Chain A
Amino acid sequence: MFMSIIMGVCLLPVLLILYLTERNEATPKKGLILGVTLPPEGQALPEVQAIVARFKKELNALCLACAALAIPLFLVRGEMFSLSLWMVWMVAAIALPMLPHIRANRALKALKRQHGWSAGAARLVDTSASEAALPRPIGLWQLALPLIVSLLPLWPILRMEDTLLRLPLSIIIGVDSLCLLFLWACGRWMFRRRSDMVTEDSTLNQTLMRVRRLYWDRLWVISLWGCAGLNLAFWFFRNSPWGVLGASLLFGVVLIGAEMWGELATRRAQEQLTAHAAIRADEDDRWIWGIFYYDPEDRRVFVSKRVGISTTCNLGHWGGKLLMGFSALAILVCLFIGPILGVLDSTPTHLTLTDTALVSAHGSSEKYTLPLSEIESVQLREELPVSMRVFGTGMEHYLEGTFTVEGDGSCQLCLDPTAPPFLRVEADGVIYWLGAADPAETRAAAEALDPGAVPAG
């Protein structure tokens, strides 16, 4: 149930976002309805209106069906099975709302051909849209402050005495700070692209570009500060799993919310600015179903989408094909996350004693090898104290990595929390909590290490 709640909170908004953006495609912007460029007289045609109405009806029905399908998922037992079903649901929720769009796009294109509304396949470039009059890309100073804030937690972390916590926390903060640099570089790079050259009026083209760039600028700044805030939250809530979860969710909500705000606000501006403009650009032949850009003549790998602020790949370019392939693969891999994690979760942990060391393993993979000469104390405990993951794996039947254990502080764990007893071993100044899926294996290891550690009977 817990897994379903987490997945529901994370994935149900995906459906809502897709629904809102898809529905918005039916409102004319830059002469486009559902990815098809139509003249004003064409947009008002009853046949076009009928296609749009059918699209909305089908979209409503499909999105409602997807939402309804999510309800039984909350009742599914077993975390990994539930995760697998949610992933299948997610792929369906991404793919299904596209179907009405594809159908409507094809119908509108056929109608366009029938009426001879094509404006030609020439590519338009407005040489008068001055670069100097456009907003500047995010500068170094816009990166500096959030980067400093993001790196602030490193100061207390590097002074921590707890060496087990120092490394993983430093890695988390360091990786998040690298994300800031990556976002900033993306922001600078994306500004190279100019688009929205759709009318004869250079001022209007420039205004459309200004709108797109302004929202992009704001989104980059929000993302930079979001990452910096997340780093601070990781430090403040380092002892509270709920705090970390809440901060991560808030980060996601802020980022997705900002993206949606930028997307819809840009679309609204495009709609208002081009409501009465004579559109000269017609790239319909280069947009498959109005969704995927395909132009082998175009040397660009990334192209701006015609409405909104998003970017997509050029499938006519090998780089675009590669990126789109990876994206498709990433979505498909999601389907296998549940089974893969299921296998990981059901693989038993083992404790083996050799002549020289105590070996803790997960399946056939050795996790910790403690030389017998370094072992200082051994205790067999029937209960695992409350523990919180800092770095590693935390599953229903498998805990492995660095954890904060109540009463012991930072410890290394490799055990099945549902299979007591557990072996608490102190070796070379580090506390280990180990255990085998088979309790007899744990007891045997404890007895061999220190017969006094095993309570009589």
Chain B
Amino acid sequence: MLMRLDFQSPVPIYRQIRDQVVLAVAEGRLRPGEQLPAIRALAEDAGVNAMTVSKAYQLLKSEGYLVTDRRAGAVVCLPQPSAGLSEEQTARLRLLAGEARLAGLSRAEFLALCGAVYEEKEG
């Protein structure tokens, strides 16, 4: 998996790492059981603080995308399917829908776009 870290972006680096791992898992670019680099190695490769990577890994672990093992290190896993989106995720979707409306998208256009993006993730 090729990770892109944009230092000019307002999104914090730990969040960029987390988002890209989640996207890669959803798109099948990262498979369950696949190993991610050790915190120090990824920090060295990316030129960021080890704490930044650690924070991203902690977040991924708490969300169920990652399990850490003393021997295998950080291993990708699929989170347990839940009943639906969390409150935070629903809030983000609400914001996105609002932004789409303000951008002039009709309900049909917005749903079509959501469908296309979802299909992308299904491969």
Contacts and interface: CB of A to CB of B under 8 A. Distances in A.
21 contacts: A120-B4, A122-B4, A122-B5, A122-B6, A123-B4, A123-B5, A124-B2, A125-B3, A125-B45, A126-B3, A127-B42, A130-B35, A131-B37, A192-B44, A193-B44, A194-B44, A200-B2, A202-B2, A297-B7, A297-B47, A298-B47
Interface in A278-297: 280, 295, 297
A298 B52 CA distance: 13
Nearest to B4: A122
A378 B2 CA distance: 80
A299 interface: yes
A373 interface: no
Given A121-B6, A125-B42, A299-B43, 15 more contacts: A120-B4, A121-B8, A122-B6, A123-B4, A124-B3, A124-B5, A125-B45, A126-B2, A127-B1, A127-B2, A130-B35, A194-B41, A297-B7, A299-B48, A300-B47
A194 B6 contact: no
A303 B45 CA distance: 10
Residue from B30, B37, B44, B47 with most neighbouring chain A CB atoms (10 Å): B47
B62 interface: no
Nearest to B3: A125
B7 A127 contact: no
A174 to B, nearest CB: 34
Contacts of B23: none
B45 A197 contact: yes
B116 interface: no
Interface string B62-98: 0000000000000000000000000000000000000
Contacts of A128: 1, 34
Contacts of B47: 123, 295, 297-300, 303
A126 B1 contact: yes
B120 to A, nearest CB: 17
Interface residues of B, number: 23
Interface in A105-127: 120-127
Contact of A299 (B1, B2, B36, B49): B49
Interface of A: 120-128, 130-131, 192-194, 197, 200, 202, 280, 295, 297-300, 303
B38 to A, nearest CB: 8
Contacts of A131: 37-38, 41
Given A193-B44, A295-B47, A300-B44, A125 B8 contact: no
A131 B73 CA distance: 12
B46 interface: yes
Nearest to B47: A298
A216 to B, nearest CB: 16
A243 to B, nearest CB: 45
A127 B44 CA distance: 12
Nearest to B43: A299
B90 to A, nearest CB: 29
A178 to B, nearest CB: 27
B11 to A, nearest CB: 12
Interface string B19-40: 0000000000010001111100
A298 B44 CA distance: 10
A279 to B, nearest CB: 12
Contacts of B36: 127
Contacts of A295: 47
A130 B73 CA distance: 13
A122 B38 CA distance: 21
B49 A280 contact: no
A127 B37 contact: yes
Contact of A127 (B3, B6, B43, B49): B3
Contacts of B44: 192-194, 300
Contacts of B35: 130
Contacts of B3: 124-127
A125 B5 CA distance: 8
Contacts of A202: 1-2
Which 10 residue pairs spanning A and B have beta carbons closest together?
Answer: A298-B47, A122-B4, A297-B7, A125-B3, A122-B6, A123-B5, A300-B47, A125-B45, A127-B1, A125-B46
Nearest to A205: B2
A125 B7 CA distance: 13
Nearest to B17: A125
Given A123-B46, A125-B42, A300-B44, A197 B2 contact: yes
A325 to B, nearest CB: 21
A295 B48 CA distance: 12
Contact of B2 (A125, A192, A193, A300): A125
Contacts of B48: 299
A448 to B, nearest CB: 70
A192 B1 CA distance: 20
A134 B108 CA distance: 51
Nearest to A130: B35
